[in-house]
Chains A and B, each alone.
Chain A
Amino acid sequence: MIPDEREWLVQERATRVERGSGESLDADATGTAYLLIARALREPIEVKLADDFAERVASLAASRSSELAVDSRIERYLLWVLGAVFAVAAVTVCVLYGQTWFGPTLDLIGPVTKPDLKWILALSACVGVSWLSDWMRNPAGHPAQTLA
């Protein structure tokens, strides 16, 4: 991995000396060069951020966070309305046209059992209402978010 282990050790020792470890370093050209390099690399970099940067970013983050919360609430409400409309439409279609396709479909599948259409519709409605109430109780089904 490191092509020259000895030189790596000199680099590391120069780094520790520059950090004030109290170690000594050979006063040869290689050691001197790495000491100069370690010193240059430790020179502070000027941070050109405004004095109120932290305050400004914190207030921006807070306002974005509340915007996101509002968006999320609206999105949930719209999804709920859409789900309800879809459920009502499905029940209406079943009530209006169910008789015309449900009977023949059962005939096609086979005369094993022929349940009453009203009971099937009632069962479907129960399942639908149960699913909707579950969904409303647990609306935070956000997909996992990733950092990058």
Chain B
Amino acid sequence: MTQTPPTREDDQALVDAVLGGVAGAFEQLVRQYQKLCWHVIHRMVRHTEDTQDLCQETFLRVHQYLHQYRNESALKSWVAQVAYSVAKRHLERKRIPIAESSAEGDGLSLLDRITDDFDIEAASIEGQSAGHLHEAIDCLPPLQRTILTLYHLDELPIADIAVITGLAEGTIKSHLFRARKQLRDTLTESIGVAA
């Protein structure tokens, strides 16, 4: 987070180096974006082994199609876009809906879906909140989880998230608002932070 983000010129130089077959250039690209790739895919699929395989698939695709990168968006967004499409296709193959809230589908609220084995007494108030929140985040639909992570953890602007997911900026804002409101409702219900 504290590192200066690469400029478009840096991106193009790296892409040119990879396409020109410079030794170690692609390895550098992978190192630079493997964390972001993990964030996108793991938030979507929530399965460690699948995420590892899909990260590898993502970078192989990036290598195969890098000649199509036109520097119209940051390389970071382009790589995240490939990761998102790989994860989305994986979920589609498994017939897991990415946007529809499973909580809505089965009539359960996020709080109902959180497991009962959370030891409330053993945790501090802050710890309680964090524990419940992380479980509640896990219960959100894959698309909302991913958008929240890209926005809050990776600090990507809404415009970039729109490019990555192929959705309109208004839709991204709407997902952000509803997901955070749902988390707030869960927090309020679970540990009694009065609204």
Contact = CB atoms under 8 A, between A and B. Distances in A.
Main DSSP-derived SS at the A contact region: helix
Interface string A14-49: 010011000000000110111011111111110111
Contacts, number: 126
Interface string B26-46: 111011001100110011000
A130 interface: no
Contacts of A2: 173-174, 177
A1 B63 contact: no
Interface residues of B, number: 54
A33 B60 contact: no
B85 interface: yes
B187 to A, nearest CB: 5
A59 B76 CA distance: 21
A53 B34 contact: yes
Nearest to B148: A41
Interface stretch (B6-14, B102-110, B127-135): B127-135
Given A7-B177, A42-B153, A61 B60 contact: yes
Contact of A58 (B26, B51, B64, B148): B26
A120 interface: no
Contact of B60 (A29, A39, A55, A57): A57
Interface residues of A, number: 42
Nearest to A58: B27
A97 to B, nearest CB: 48
Given A40-B130, A58-B27, A147 B82 contact: yes
Contact of A45 (B30, B34, B42, B183): B42
B188 interface: yes
B184 interface: yes
Interface of B: 24, 26-28, 30-31, 34-35, 38-39, 42-43, 48, 51-52, 55-56, 59-61, 63-65, 68, 81-82, 85, 89, 126, 129-130, 133-134, 137, 148-149, 151-153, 155, 170, 173-174, 176-177, 180-181, 183-184, 187-188, 193-195
Interface of A: 1-4, 7-8, 11, 15, 18-19, 29-30, 32-34, 36-45, 47-49, 53-55, 57-58, 60-62, 64-65, 68, 145, 147-148
